[in-house]
Amino acid sequence: MNKRMTLGVLLAVMSLGANATEGRAIEYKVNDEAYEGYYISPSEEAPLVLLIHDWDGLTDYEVKRAQMLAEQGYAVFAADLFGAGIRPTEVKDKRQHTGELYKDRQKMRDLMNGALQMADSLGANTDKSVALGYCFGGAAVLELARSGSDMKGFATFHGGLKTPEGQDYSKAKGNILVLHGAADAAISMSDFAVLSGELEKDGVSNEMIVYSGAPHAFTVYGSDNYRQDADFKSWQRFLTYLDDVEW
């Protein structure tokens, strides 16, 4: 699937299928700014996964992952951290939008909490929820964990692992799952090791897995960095992680 397919086009394609569960684009506001997320739920009782996008913004990739999770019985709210209509394709623009949020951690937290509030208003089971993030989204999910969010767990796929100066995991609740590529040139094994030490220091339950030969963004279909073996293994581990959560 082409990662550049727009959210609207993908939703149109999905609506033509025979899926029992269909998702929809959701317009919402956080601090009076407009955002467009995506919501899918197989049932009112389904546990919720809050999904945070990578530095491309919310695209067909996150929608596909949300659909995959819905097929496993989970509701998903894919949050939009950039703003309605903002889906950068140029590297300089991706860096601009992620950089703005890295510099304003409170806004990053507000946007994720705002997405959770929107999911709650849609009937999602926010009392039984975990957060999942890819790349930039992985860094955001760890930010949410450090904030002391009451979610059941936090999982990152090839996500940013550095802890900002002045922060720690002393308020973190729930289990943290880190799925990382050993050949990641953007996020080093040193970052991985430092995070492991920080989590142990603050007594945070965690599991950190490394996939040999996997570069950054190893789960992104159709990209040069895609590694099928690491994608399959990490996805299966995430599903068993969800199975093990004490909902």
Handedness of CA 37, 138, 140, 44 (dihedral sign): positive
CB 41 within 8 A of CB 20: no
Whether the predicted pLDDT of 2 surpasses 70:
no
pLDDT bin (cut points 50, 70, 90) of residue 247 is confident
Summarised one tens digit per residue, pLDDT across range 31-75 is 999 999 999 999 989 999 999 999 999 999 999 999 999 999 999
Domain ranges of the chain: 7-162+182-244
Strand, helix or coil at 198? helix
State the architecture of 7-162+182-244 in CATH terms.
Answer: 3-Layer(aba) Sandwich (3.40)
In sequence order, the 6+-apart residues with CB closer than 8 A to the CB of 163 are 142, 146, 169, 194, 195, 198
How many CB atoms neighbour CB 143 within 10 A?
Answer: 25
pLDDT bin (cut points 50, 70, 90) of residue 202 is very high
Summarised one tens digit per residue, pLDDT across range 163-184 is 999 999 999 999 999 999 999 9
Whether the predicted pLDDT of 14 surpasses 90:
no
**Average of per-residue pLDDT across 140-161:** 98
